[in-house]
Amino acid sequence: MIRDILILEDVRQSREWLAGIVQKIFPDPKIVKKASLREAIEACTRQTYDLALVDLSLPDGEGVTLLRLLGQEQPQCVKVVTTVMATDSAIVSALAAGAQGYLLKSEPEDVLENQLRLLLTGVPPLSPQIARRIMHHFQLTGPNYESPAKLTKRETEVLRLIARGLRVSEAAAALGLAESTVITHIKSVYRKLEISNRAEAAIHASRLGLLTDDIPKN
Long-range CB pairs of 189-197, under 8 A, 24+ apart, other chains included? 189/151, 189/155, 189/158, 189/159, 192/148, 192/149, 192/150, 192/151, 192/155, 193/147, 193/148, 193/149, 193/151, 194/148, 194/149
In a domain, 107, yes or no: yes
Mean pLDDT value across residues 87-111: 89
- Asked whether residue 54 falls in the same domain as residue 114, the answer is yes
Q: Is residue 86 part of a domain?
A: yes
Mean pLDDT of 203-214: 68
Give the count of beta carbons closer than 10 Å to the beta carbon of residue 113: 15
Query: Quick one: pLDDT at residue 212?
Result: 56
Q: Does residue 162 lie within any of the structural domains? A: yes
Classify residue 164: in a domain, yes or no: yes
**Same domain, residue pair 136 and 168:** no
pLDDT digits 0-9 by tens, 35-77: 999 999 999 999 999 999 999 999 999 999 999 999 999 999 9
In this structure, are 96 and 23 located in the same domain?
A: yes
218 occurs within a structural domain: no
Q: Kindly report, residue by residue over 82-94, the tens digit of the pLDDT.
A: 999 988 888 888 9
